[in-house]
Structure 1
Amino acid sequence: MPASSRSKTRRRNERRGRWAERLAEASLRLKGYRLLARRFKSGPGEVDLIMRRGEVTAFIEVKVRANADLAIAAVSDFQIRRIAAAARIWMAKDPRAALGICRFDIVAVSPYQWPRHIPNAFTVED
């Protein structure tokens, strides 16, 4: 594949990912979540959305696939480790998160469907 085609594909995927994150954020706001950070990056990792509802701080991975099951399956062990590393850094800076309940969620975005929110989608072993 020529370099120009790869860059077009990459830009298209980037736009699709940003659109999915905005859609996921909107659906979670309707459930009462408040946005704390979008695309939080730290040295070892990145979290698409960090949102809070009550005492729960949710570190959210947003995935776009043809259906929700494929989106959930697309979250790899490597990504989980990177999300967890970024979450640890966030919690070190946010005492409310460190003292409250933290969890890892997935929002699966699929065409022609409302985003599917999976609370506590995975756990992390220290």
Structure 2
Amino acid sequence: MREAGEHRRVTERRGRSAETLALVALMLKGYRPLGTRFRAAGGEIDLIVRRGDTVAFVEVKARGTLMAAQGAIDAQKVARFSRAARAWISRHATCDAATFRADAVFVSPGAWPRHVVDAFPVG
């Protein structure tokens, strides 16, 4: 039991570090943060950023290699992510004129985060 809890804490710290690095990379590209770790019934969005009229919901994946990170988003994850994105949109009527998309940022040791624009459908 104790080992599982420790593993969860290590994974949580790694995920938060990856999200911070992803956010810095996105900010350097001109995005400004609107939110982090947005949770809604059935899903979570790691980062929500905006550049111009585009709001991007961002899934951050940290793995040992970029290839492993890219393979970490499956259909079930996309469905949960899309539910959360729709919930965020419904709660933020001020973003009516915005274009929405789902991006991904893949983080691996020794490499700059890889930002994939429009990685999967928002739903």
Query: TM-score range, shorter-chain basis?
Result: over 0.9
Structure 2: unaligned runs, 5 residues or longer: none
What is the aligned-residue identity percentage?
44
For 2:79, the equivalent position in structure 1 comes to 81
Q: 1:100 aligns with which of 78, 98, 101?
A: 98
For 2:67, the equivalent position in structure 1 comes to 69
For 2:35, the equivalent position in structure 1 comes to 37
Amino acid aligned to 1:8: E
CA distance in 2, matches of 1:110, 1:97: 32
Structure 1: unaligned runs, 5 residues or longer: none
The CA deviation at 1:107 is 0.3
The CA deviation at 1:67 is 1.7
Name the Cα RMSD after superposition.
Answer: 1.1
For 2:111, the equivalent position in structure 1 comes to 113
Return the TM-score normalized by structure 2.
Answer: 0.95
CA distance in 2, matches of 1:124, 1:93: 16
CA distance in 2, matches of 1:6, 1:12: 10
The CA deviation at 1:33 is 0.4
Q: List, as ranges, runs of 4+ consecutive aligned residues in structure 1 with deviation greater than 3 Å.
A: none
CA distance in 2, matches of 1:82, 1:47: 9
